[in-house]
Structure 1
Amino acid sequence: MAASSTQSSSFVGVVLRLAIPCIILAAGWFGFQRLASEIERAPLPEPKKVLLRSRIEEINVVDYPVVVTTHAVVQAHNRIMLTSEVSGTVTKTSASFEVGAYFKAGEVLVEIDQSDYLTALAIAESELAVAKSELKLAIIVEERKLRLVESNAVPQGEVETASASREQAESNVALAETNVEQAKLNLRRTKFVAPFDGRVVSKLIGRGQMAGANSPLGEVFAIDYAEVRLPVSGDQREFLNLPEFADDPPLEVRLQDGILQSSDLVWDATIVRTEGVLDANSRDLFAIARIDDPFGQKSGKPPLRIGQPVIASIQGKVLRDVIALPRAAVRELDQIVLVDRTDQTLLPLQVKTLWSDADKVIVSSSAIPQGMWLATTPMPFTPSGARIEIIPPANTDAAISIADSNSPESDKNATN
């Protein structure tokens, strides 16, 4: 009886041990089924079709005048250091010999004390008078000896001695005359005369100071005209007819202020020559432009100062039968986007640039197919053949022109 009860208890324990894992597995399977069942969701809206939009421009074949732009600095064509040729105390300086002042050719700018040089001139003139008197006496003696030798009153040797004395006296007169001229020259050099119409850059000496020979007095420059060295690169030289010889026609240049670029002031200049060598670093060729009356003394224009940076616009060749594209419409690697007039689809195209400046990119007329517009609005992607929507321009006339070109009649004409 006891043995039967023990076996029954063991059987119940085994059943319980097996039932617990089964229950856990069943609960896990039930939960997995619940979680794995599809959850009903609201249907997603259909994606909107994005249509590319762009403004367009007409493509016209034109003749485009090339204008080469370069930067330079105005410089004086003749800038010199005034140097004293004699020594002495400065007794006077002209009012025109001040920094920034103008002076005229022939005007006395600096005067040096003349006392020593007047004395030297007087001594030289006295020596000349003595030499002339000695020459006169030597001529009389020689003539008398020549008359006496004819009658054998004096020997031939005395005649020769008299002739030698006369020749020496002539040499003394010539030397004395040279000394007089040198004294006069030194006296003139005590007054430094302006060699040209000019302007003072610096003043290095004043009244009462001692000037020695070869002492600098100041720096000046000529104002009749100024020059500008314009660097021209190899790519730019292809489009310019630069003068190489004296009889070549000059090339027109317009100069603008390089500091205040918003200014409307313009100075006219002409390229008169080029330098004979290329720059060792940049390989640019420097063209020399001349500006007449740079300080506006005759024309009344505002002055173009020495050392002033300028922006030069040089008239170049005229490119015939080309297309001038707005620079903003040309992307990297010379890529443009065209729009077919018929179906308004995109045509990306790479072009070869003939010339470019700040505003335009010039290409050959044969590089762009006919019957196209130019897309000018930046787009994130431009797939070939994609249809676009044209943004109407603000200009009413242009909008009417585009509308007319979109009409069936215009399509028919374009096809024909």
Structure 2
Amino acid sequence: MKLLAQAIVRLIIPLAILAGGGYGYTLLSVEVDDGKSRPTKEEAVRSRVQSLHVSDYDVKIETHGVVGPHNRVTLSAEVTGTIRSTERAFEVGSYFKSGELLLQMDSLDYQTALIVAREQHQLAKATLKLAETAHERMKSLSNRNSASDSERDSTFAALVQAQSQVEIAAAAVDQANRDLQRTKIYAPFDGRVASKLIGVGQLVSSGTVLGEVFAIDYAEVRLPIANRELRHLKLPEMEGDPTVSVELRDAIDSDSEAVWDAKIVRTEGALDPDSLELFAIARIDDPFALKSDHRILRIGQPVVAKIQGETLHDVVAIPRGAVRRLDMIYLIDGKERTLRSLSVDPLWTDSDNVVVPGGLLREGELLATTTLVYAPEGSVVEIIPDVDSGNAFAGEPAELEPTP
């Protein structure tokens, strides 16, 4: 048995070696790939298109600002006294006319002071008359050598003093009269009350702030304009220069259809030190619609402004969404349906369009408007039909020749 087992082992080992060699031969006999990829079918790039046209383009510069009054003043007391009454026109938000009474202070002391000043003035005038009579008499005696020169000079000095007292007393009357008038506060212009800081019975002194008011004949907006935008505008610099039209819209409620017409009437004399922008001042007449039918424009209202700039001639407006990597667009040959890229140097850009010189493009050339992830130069383009807008390029026309 032992000899039989040894014989079987000797037989199995060679057979296993032969089987392994055969399997290895089978693996090594497979043809090796030469590394050359087989040609694949080229897939077309799919894109929507838009036909480009050379035309004129009106530049509109968009900026923003906050409506403010052109004249806002602080009302202060000029004399000391107790507030006796305030008018309805001196309530926050109330309208008032120029010269309208806003509030009164207790004036009894000032009336008394005026009476005293007037009586002192009358006394000074009487003293002056006596001094004039005495001086005339002394001059007559001196001419007859009945009085000395020193006596005549003495009466003259008394006369001059009496004249000065009359003038001082008259000034005191004027001062007392002005103080009495200052117990009443009148509106300096047509306007509205922004704030009221006092009430009836309150004791105020000279310089006490009573409230703030602002004019309503027109309002103003400071509009920042970037340096690159200035070359497309001709802003008024001197008195009498033509104004520039501005359209204002509500910056808070984007759905609002309210529009206010304004005009840039001047610019500030220096660039802002932080932003290096120039501020233009736009004026809005009758902001509270007292004499017109537009919607009320309130002080403090944030607005978006569109300023009418110059007209660019012979240019092409490219939708901003079709521009890649800031300055790259893709054009489609209308006949061959192949793709080519073009770098553009814009004359003007805004939120909707990038405007380039018309000489860069042919009239009617096709622009790829779809975002292309893979767009090698010369790729075949399959135009995506634009069913909603009835695009002329929908479907599969035989050829599309760009207009020469």
Residue in 1 aligned with 2:33?
none
- Indicate yes or no: 2:200 matched with 1:218: no
CA–CA separation in structure 2 for the residues paired with 1:61 and 1:395:
25
CA–CA separation in structure 2 for the residues paired with 1:370 and 1:341:
12
- Residues 86, 186 of structure 1: 8 Å contact kept: yes
- Residues 340, 371 of structure 1: 8 Å contact kept: no
- The amino acid that maps onto 2:210 is L
Which structure 2 segments of 5+ residues have no match? 31-38
Q: CA offset at residue 405 of structure 1?
A: 12
CA–CA separation in structure 1 for the residues paired with 2:306 and 2:128:
72
What is the TM-score normalised by the length of structure 1?
0.89
Q: CA offset at residue 238 of structure 1?
A: 1.1
CA–CA separation in structure 2 for the residues paired with 1:97 and 1:196:
13
User: What percentage of aligned pairs have identical amino acids?
Assistant: 46
* Aligned with residue 162 of structure 2, among 154, 159, 169: 169
What is the TM-score normalised by the length of structure 2?
0.91
Q: CA offset at residue 30 of structure 1?
A: 5.3
Residue in 1 aligned with 2:35?
none
Distance 1:244 1:405, change over 3 A: farther
- Indicate yes or no: 2:357 matched with 1:357: no
Moved over 6 A (4+): 33-38
- Indicate yes or no: 2:44 matched with 1:51: yes
Per-residue CA deviations over 1:25-81 (Å, capped at 9, x if unaligned) read: 34444565678898xxxxxxx976532222222211111010000011111111111
Which structure 1 segments of 5+ residues have no match? 1-8, 39-45
- The amino acid that maps onto 2:130 is L
CA–CA separation in structure 1 for the residues paired with 2:398 and 2:390:
16
Residue in 1 aligned with 2:202?
209
CA–CA separation in structure 2 for the residues paired with 1:98 and 1:48:
82
- The amino acid that maps onto 2:106 is D
Aligned residues: 396
CA–CA separation in structure 2 for the residues paired with 1:76 and 1:392:
54
- Residues 341, 371 of structure 1: 8 Å contact kept: no
Q: CA offset at residue 148 of structure 1?
A: 1.2
Q: CA offset at residue 403 of structure 1?
A: 8.1
Q: CA offset at residue 24 of structure 1?
A: 3.4
* Aligned with residue 178 of structure 2, among 167, 182, 185: 185
- The amino acid that maps onto 1:63 is D
Deviates more, 1:378-387 or 1:353-362: 378-387
- The amino acid that maps onto 1:151 is R
Q: CA offset at residue 393 of structure 1?
A: 3.1
Residue in 1 aligned with 2:14?
22
CA–CA separation in structure 2 for the residues paired with 1:375 and 1:220:
58
Look up the SS of the partner of 1:130 in the other structure: helix
CA–CA separation in structure 1 for the residues paired with 2:289 and 2:189:
17
Per-residue CA deviations over 1:131-156 (Å, capped at 9, x if unaligned) read: 00000000000111111111111112
CA–CA separation in structure 2 for the residues paired with 1:297 and 1:204:
27
Look up the SS of the partner of 1:50 in the other structure: coil
Residue in 2 aligned with 1:388?
381
- Residues 101, 200 of structure 1: 8 Å contact kept: yes
Residue in 1 aligned with 2:253?
260
Per-residue CA deviations over 1:245-266 (Å, capped at 9, x if unaligned) read: 1121111111000000121101
- Indicate yes or no: 2:267 matched with 1:274: yes
* Aligned with residue 342 of structure 1, among 335, 350, 354: 335
Q: CA offset at residue 200 of structure 1?
A: 1.1
Higher helix share: 1
CA–CA separation in structure 2 for the residues paired with 1:253 and 1:370:
33
- Residues 342, 406 of structure 1: 8 Å contact kept: no
- The amino acid that maps onto 2:221 is V
